[in-house]
Amino acid sequence: MLIVMTYKVHAVNKKETDEALQEKTSLIQSWLYAAIIFILIAIITSIYFMVKGTIYEGHLMEWLNIVVRVMHITFGIAWIGASFYFVFLENALNRTENVRDELAGNLWAVHGGGFYYLEKYKGAPKTLPKHLHWFKYEAYFTWVSGFALLLIIYYFNASAMMIDTNVMKLSTAQAIVISIGSFIAAWCMYDLLCKSPLRKHTLLFVLTGAVLLIGFAWFYSYVFSGRAAFIHFGAMIGSLMVANVFFVIIPSQKAMVNAAKKGVTPDPQRGKNALFRSIHNNYFTLPVLFVMVSNHFPSTFGNKYQWIVLAAISIGSAGIKHWLNLREQGRLSVWIMPASVIVLLAVAYATAPQASTTKCKEVSFAEVNAIIQQRCIGCHSSQPTDNIYTAPPNGVKYDTPQEIVAKKDLIMQRVVVTKTMPQNNKTNMTPEERDVIRCWIEQGAIIK
Ligand code: HEC
């Protein structure tokens, strides 16, 4: 009897020390990762200061951009992919046929050459498994790499990428403070909204949230260049999503696991809060994904009322997500899909180019070339003279007449339709000059 008891005590102690050891190693691991990241940042920063002002500066930034962008996309796909997958699981779970008492449901799937069978528990299982997978680093790394991109593309080049003196005359420091401050302000407002009594009234909550978001879209377009305004809107929402994971969802899961370890029932309110935030994240995904690719589409961020374009595309794409969610639950809604599509079509219609009514006189290539030499060559040349661009942006050069003609459609798009070139109108192109370019292209873009 005594032997058995000491054995039991021993076993319990061993289990506890095992757990303590595990916790310790995972803590050391986290610190190691953090240290590696800080050392990397320190190395890159010192390389930056070494090459600053030399011909290698642009090259370093380009490679940082490539590496960090690919990381950002990869983490983002892992995060959004996992989150879409779990929403799908939740929606598609078989909850009725042959479901054991302790289960909420199960699901069969076939993928990659194998059959999978999954079970979801109603609460915690009686004994917690030794290996429990968490999904959190995807979100954190997406945010860290995203913030690094913001730093590399926008903060380092604030005067070219964030500040449009025709919109607001800001200094680099002011632009960065506004940028970071806006993310913090957005989180405080959103978090307060989620904790306010409004959360119980879905419609009011959604409307207030939408007004807040549209307010941010307007604010960003009021202070930044069009492209930076769009990216900030996306980065702001992305930050809300990650903060939801970090401050609400993961702590609630930790509490759940701890409660299960102690054999007590977890506080149901925490679980509800986590689900509430998780649903918001789900609706944020499509608008954020659009914003992340928006800098390829000058007809959106270059529009005169870009904040309305941004708000409308966000509402339309969140609407489509709503329809997808309902469909997965087997609930078909008749009007949400057409309504969302109509909103998006309306944006396409409203942003269409307007035919100019001013009559063209015959334009010679010499006139066009003179304008391009004066307004574009500073950046778009094999040897740019611009203070920021040391290589032709996007590889676009206008050194020869053939190079100009070859890019005529893009020139029409950027100079005449969206007026997003010259970048932030740095070289002060006049509306009359834009008209000359338009007439020349409409007359066939001939070198004569
Ligand atoms: C201050 C520097 C600067 C000046 C001046 C400038 N550009 Fe650009 N241009 C850029 C940058 C940076 C990009 C790449 C980012 C982007 O697409 O917005 C770009 C991209 C473009 C593109 C898109 C290329 C693509 O692959 O999509 C076109 C077309 C273009 N510029 C035309 C012009 C024309 C025409 C002028 C003169 C009227 C001009 N730019 C003046 C900096 C400049």
pLDDT in tens, 230-269: 999 999 999 999 999 999 999 999 998 998 888 888 888 8
| pLDDT for position 92 | 85
Omega prior to 422 cis, within 30 of 0 = yes
Q: State what percent of residues in the chain have pLDDT above 70.
A: 96
pLDDT tens-digit series, residues 283-333:
999 999 999 999 888 889 988 899 999 999 999 999 999 998 888 877 878
Q: Which of 241, 338, 334, 342 is nearest to 287 (CA)?
A: 241
Give the closest residue (by CA) to ligand 1 atom 2: 379
Q: Pick the atom of ligand 1 nearest to 410's CA.
A: 29
- The residue contributing the CA closest to ligand 1 atom 36 is 376
Q: Which atom of ligand 1 is nearest to the CA of 396?
A: 24
Q: What does the pLDDT read at residue 241?
A: 97
Mean pLDDT of 377-396: 87
- Distance, C-alpha 152 to centroid of its chain: 15
The chain-wide mean pLDDT, for the chain, equals: 89
Q: Is the CB of 407 under 6 A from ligand 1?
A: yes
pLDDT for res 264:
85
Rounded to whole angstroms, the Cα distance separating 114 from 110 reads: 6
**What is the Å distance from ligand 1's center to 401 Cα?**
17
> Which residue out of 61, 163, 379, 399 has the highest number of ligand 1 atoms within 8 Å of its CB and is therefore the one to mutate?
379
- Report pLDDT for 417: 85
Output the CA–CA distances (angstroms, integers) from residue 308 to 32, 221, 311, 347, in the order listed: 45, 10, 5, 9
Task: Ligand 1, residue 426: give the atom nearest the CA.
Answer: 1
Average pLDDT over residues 334-347: 93
Do 384 and 353 contact (CB within 8 A), yes or no? no
What pLDDT does 2 receive? Answer: 46
Assigned token pair, 58: 């642009």
Contact between residue 321 and residue 285 where contact means Cβ atoms under 8 Å apart: yes
Q: What local confidence, expressed as pLDDT, does residue 266 receive? A: 82
User: Which residue out of 224, 301, 380, 389 has the highest number of ligand 1 atoms within 8 Å of its CB and is therefore the one to mutate?
Assistant: 380
Name 216's Cβ contacts closer than 8 Å, sequence gap at least 6.
182, 186, 233, 236
pLDDT at 14: 60
Amino acid at 429: M
- Ligand 1 pocket member 396 (CB < 6 A): yes
Question: How many Cα atoms occupy the beta-carbon half-sphere of 188 within 13 Å?
Answer: 6
pLDDT of residue 13: 58
For residues 255 and 293, give the distance between their C-alpha atoms in angstroms, rounded to a whole number.
37
Q: How far apart are the first and last CA of the chain?
A: 107
Find, among 391, 310, 372, 389, the residue nearest to 344 by Cα. Answer: 310
The reported pLDDT for the residue numbered 75 is 96
Atom of ligand 1 nearest to the CA of 298: 18
* 325-352 exposure pattern, b = at least 16 Cβ within 10 A, e = fewer: beeeeeeeeeebbebbeebbeebeeebe
- Under the banding of pLDDT at 50, 70 and 90, the label for residue 10 is low
Is 194 a residue whose pLDDT tops 70?
yes
Q: Candidates 421, 426, 437: which one to mutate for ligand 1, based on the most atoms within 8 Å of Cβ?
A: 421
pLDDT one-digit tens code per residue, 91-142? 889 999 989 988 999 999 999 999 999 999 888 888 888 888 888 899 999 9
Spacing, Cα 227 to ligand 1 middle (Å): 13
- Mean pLDDT, range 185-194, rounded to an integer: 97
Top mutation candidate among 166, 403, 423, 427 for ligand 1, by most atoms within 8 Å of CB: 423
Cα separation, 305 vs 379, in Å, equals 27
- Alpha carbon of 311 to ligand 1 centroid (Å): 26
384 touches ligand 1 (CB under 6 Å): no
Tens of pLDDT, residue by residue over 49-78, are: 888 877 787 788 888 889 999 999 999 999
Query: What pLDDT, on a 0 to 100 scale, did the predictor assign at position 117?
Result: 95
> What's the 222 CA to ligand 1 centre distance in angstroms?
22
Compute, in angstroms, the gap from residue 66 CA to the centroid of ligand 1: 20
- 385, 394, 410, 415: residue to mutate for ligand 1 pocket, most atoms within 8 A of CB: 394
pLDDT at 178: 97
Q: Is the CB of 98 under 6 A from ligand 1?
A: no
| Closest CA to ligand 1's atom 26 | 394
Residue whose Cα lies nearest atom 42 of ligand 1: it is 423
Q: Nearest C-alpha to atom 7 of ligand 1 is from which residue?
A: 422
Which tens digits make up the pLDDT trace of 29-50?
A: 889 988 998 898 899 889 988 8
Ligand 1 neighbourhood includes 422 CB (under 6 angstroms): yes
Q: Is 427 in the pocket of ligand 1 (CB under 6 A)?
A: yes
Q: Read off the amino acid at residue 411.
A: I
For residue 6, name the pLDDT band (cuts at 50, 70, 90).
very low
